[in-house]
Amino acid sequence: DQQVKQNSPSLSVQEGRISILNCDYTNSMFDYFLWYKKYPAEGPTFLISISSIKDKNEDGRFTVFLNKSAKHLSLHIVPSQPGDSAVYFCAASAKTYKYIFGTGTRLKVLA
Amino acid sequence: NAGVTQTPKFRVLKTGQSMTLLCAQDMNHEYMYWYRQDPGMGLRLIHYSVGEGTTAKGEVPDGYNVSRLKKQNFLLGLESAAPSQTSVYFCASSYPLPGAGQGSTDTQYFGPGTRLTVL
C-alpha cells in the first residue's frame, strides 16, 4: 500500500514557465512533508519542507502548497530553469523519525 | 565538513556472499538511516537509528542487519546476498527539529549512494 504517491513519473516544461509537481498521501497522521531533488549518481538533497500547521511555504523560486483536506501537496517552481532538471521526491512523516517517500517525478526543463 | 559519506561506491557480489556498507557523518547528527532505491519504487527505509547503540527496523529490513556502535557511523550488513538485493543504497542522517517534541525530525542529509549488484 503506497502511502505517498507521485502519479506523474515525468514532466517536461519550457524554460521560464512554471513547473508543478504533485504528491498525494493517504495517511491523515502525516504532519511533516518534504521535497527532495536528486541528480543522477548523487544522493537526494533537501529542497523545501512544510508542516501540517501551514498551507504554504516559500523559498525563492520554490513554493510548496499543502491541502490537508485533499491530502495533497504540490511543489511549484517559478521560473523553471534547465538546472532544475532532476528527479523530485516528496516525503512524509507522522510524528516519527521515519519518512515515507514517493516514487519520484522526473522533471525536464527544456531550453 | 564532508557531510555524509558512503563506502564503497560500487560493489558486485555473488549470491551468498556477505558484505558491509559503511556510512559516516561528521555533522553530529543523532539519527541515521539506510534506504534502498529501486526503479519505480522510490526510496524505501531498511533500518534506522535514533542514537548511538540503538537500531530499529524500517519498511524492508529482511536480509539486512545494522549496527551503530559510534554516533558518527552506521553500518549496513548483508549476511548472504541475493539478486533481489541489487539496488542503490543511500545513507542519511538528521537532527531532530528544535522543540519538535513528538518525533518530527529535521531534514535528512543523504550520502552519494552505493550501487550494489548481486549476481
Residue-wise pLDDT tens digits, A10-49: 999 999 999 999 999 999 999 889 999 999 989 999 999 8
Which structural domain range is residue B82 located in? 4-97+106-111
| Assigned domain for B119 exists | no
pLDDT band at residue B101 under the 50/70/90 scheme? very low
Domain membership flag for residue B87: yes
The bridge status of strand A62-67 relative to strand B4-7 is unpaired
pLDDT at residue B105 tops 60: no
Per-residue b or e along A45-63, where b marks 16 or more CB atoms closer than 10 Å to that residue's CB: ebbbbbebeeeebeeeebb
The boundaries of the domain holding residue A10 are 4-110
Domains: count for chain B? 1
Using the beta-carbon criterion (under 8 Å), do A104 and B50 form an inter-chain contact? no
CB contact under 8 A, A49 and B107: yes
Whether the Cβ atoms of residue B57 and residue B47 lie closer than 8 Å to each other = yes
CB pairs under 8 A between A and B: 63
- DSSP assignment string, B34-51: EEEEETTTEEEEEEEESS
Domain total in chain A: 1
What CATH number does the domain containing B54 carry?
2.60.40.10
Strand blocks (E) in chain B: 4-7, 10-13, 19-25, 31-38, 42-49, 56-57, 64-67, 73-78, 87-94, 109-110, 114-118
Within a domain: B118:
no
Lowest mean pLDDT: which of A11-15, A54-58, B37-41, B112-116? B37-41
The shortest C-alpha distance from A73 to chain B (Å) reads 17
The verdict on whether omega for the bond into residue A79 sits within 30 degrees of 0, i.e. cis, is yes
Three-state secondary-structure class, residue A107 = strand
A43, B42: Cβ pair inside 8 Å? no
Question: Taking all residues of chain B, what is their mean pLDDT, rounded to a whole number?
Answer: 90
- DSSP class per residue in A3-16: SEE---SEEEEETT
Q: Between A69 and A99, where is the model more confident?
A: A69
Q: Which three cell numbers stand for residue A72?
A: 495533497
pLDDT at B95: 79
- Rounded Cα–Cα distance for residues B73 and B52 (Å): 9
In a domain, B53, yes or no: yes
**How would residue B63 be classed by pLDDT, with cut points 50, 70 and 90?**
very high
The CATH code of the domain that includes A16 is: 2.60.40.10
Query: pLDDT tens digits for B43-58?
Result: 999 999 989 999 999 9
Asked, for residue B117, whether it belongs to a domain, the answer is: no
